[in-house]
């Protein structure tokens, strides 16, 4: 089948929610694009070495008004390490105002702490470093088509339009949006779930090392939420990808299903209250019916409610 955008052959994706999509290997394996224009300047260590992905050191966050000061973080430290041959899917839980989304904004470069430092793969983060982030609100450019939105990260890196659109078309297949390439990326032409698929495809097309997720599925119906959760898991399990996912959510069942490392945060000031390693093996649709899965949910729900 020829691409309707350019005269190149592309592979087709089958079984999107039933195992690792074979098309992913074609997109995320080493290519001239990733060699010449890496998605981030951060370098990982050789296989076998322990690697810090994220380090927050001595973080202070104070919000001042003309009458008072609100201290969110007071000498807050937080580390996320890379796990060899496993990868990391981090979940952050906590009541509103505990600083979960603020942590993502620090990592993404959208906010600077009042004090302290942020390190990415051992390198101090600068204002020029950007990590992709998917929000609860829809962030597609409504005046652009789906394929234009997805291709945008490659186009701004000066990848030629033909190659950028070919890769965008492949990513669109992976997230289940084939046939919607030419639609404007806005409601009502696309549903909320479809717009989040556009955001996932756009965030991953440049093969980043870290993807931030700030309650991306909270506004979706049960069916769309489940489908998008499984898309993320397919990406996470793909052997040609090595992305650390960091998810902020209020949904305990979602956090247990997706994450292999989970943290509950408390407030006044914000700190890590509980840390869990979730040993459920490879997640499938049947995982949510497992006794062990529900045991994790019950334990974490009890700990979470003890803070309220």
Domain boundaries, the chain: 23-305
Q: What percent of the chain has pLDDT above 70?
A: 83
pLDDT digits (tens, 9 = 90+) for 12-59: 333 333 333 444 454 444 333 333 333 333 444 444 456 889 999 999
Q: Under 8 Å CB-to-CB from 157, ≥6 apart: which residues? A: 33, 37, 206
Task: Identify the pLDDT of residue 49.
Answer: 56
The average pLDDT across 182-210 equals: 87
Task: Identify the pLDDT of residue 85.
Answer: 67
Task: Record the tokens describing residue 285, joined without a space.
Answer: 């649709």
pLDDT digits (tens, 9 = 90+) for 68-90: 888 899 999 999 988 776 779 99
Task: Identify the pLDDT of residue 253.
Answer: 95
The average pLDDT across 133-152 equals: 85
pLDDT at 186 over 60: yes
Q: Which CATH architecture fits 23-305?
A: 3-Layer(aba) Sandwich (3.40)
Q: Which residue has the higher pLDDT, 74 or 3?
A: 74
Alpha-carbon gap, residue 117 to 114, rounded angstroms? 10
Mean pLDDT for the chain overall: 81
Q: What would the 3-class secondary structure string for 273-289 be?
A: EEEEECCCCCCCHHHHH
Task: Identify the pLDDT of residue 44.
Answer: 43
pTM comes to 0.81
pLDDT at 180 over 80: yes
What are the φ and ψ backbone dihedral angles of 64, each rounded to 5 degrees?
-105, 140
Alpha-carbon gap, residue 84 to 176, rounded angstroms? 30
What one-character-per-residue DSSP string does 128-155 give? T----EE-SS--S-TTSBHHHHHHHHHH
Beta carbons of 205 and 172 less than 8 angstroms apart: no
pLDDT digits (tens, 9 = 90+) for 242-282: 889 999 999 999 999 999 999 999 988 889 999 999 999 99
Q: Give 104's pLDDT tier (boundaries 50, 70, 90).
A: very high
pLDDT digits (tens, 9 = 90+) for 147-178: 899 998 888 888 888 898 988 998 898 888 88
Task: Identify the pLDDT of residue 171.
Answer: 87
């Amino acid at each position: 089948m020829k691409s309707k955008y350019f005269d190149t052959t592309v592979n087709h994706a089958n079984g999107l929610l039933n195992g690792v999509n074979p098309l992913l290997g074609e997109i995320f394996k080493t290519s001239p694009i990733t060699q010449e224009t890496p998605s981030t300047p951060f370098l990982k260590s050789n296989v076998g070495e322990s690697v810090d992905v994220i380090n927050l050191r001595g973080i202070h966050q104070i919000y001042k008004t003309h009458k008072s000061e609100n201290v969110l973080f007071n000498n807050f430290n937080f580390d996320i390490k890379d796990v060899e041959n496993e990868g990391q899917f981090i979940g952050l839980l906590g009541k509103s105002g505990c600083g979960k989304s603020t942590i993502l904004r620090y990592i993404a470069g959208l906010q600077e702490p009042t004090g302290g430092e942020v390190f990415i793969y051992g390198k101090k983060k600068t204002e020029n470093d950007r990590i992709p982030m998917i929000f609860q609100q829809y962030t597609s450019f409504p005046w652009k088509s789906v394929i234009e939105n997805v291709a945008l990260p490659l186009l701004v890196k000066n990848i030629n339009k033909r190659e950028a659109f070919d890769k965008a078309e492949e990513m669109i297949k992976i997230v289940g949006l084939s046939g919607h390439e030419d639609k404007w990326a806005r409601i009502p032409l696309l549903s909320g779930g479809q717009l989040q698929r556009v955001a996932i495809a756009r965030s991953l097309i440049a093969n980043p090392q870290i993807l931030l997720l700030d309650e991306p599925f909270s506004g979706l119906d049960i069916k769309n939420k489940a489908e998008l959760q499984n898309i993320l898991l397919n990406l996470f399990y793909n052997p040609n990808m090595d992305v650390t996912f960091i998810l902020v959510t209020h949904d305990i069942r979602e956090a247990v299903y997706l994450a292999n490392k989970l943290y509950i945060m408390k407030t006044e000031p914000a700190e890590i209250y509980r840390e869990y390693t979730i040993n459920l093996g490879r997640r499938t649709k049947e995982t949510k019916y497992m006794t062990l899965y529900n045991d994790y949910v019950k334990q974490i729900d009890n700990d979470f409610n003890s803070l309220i």
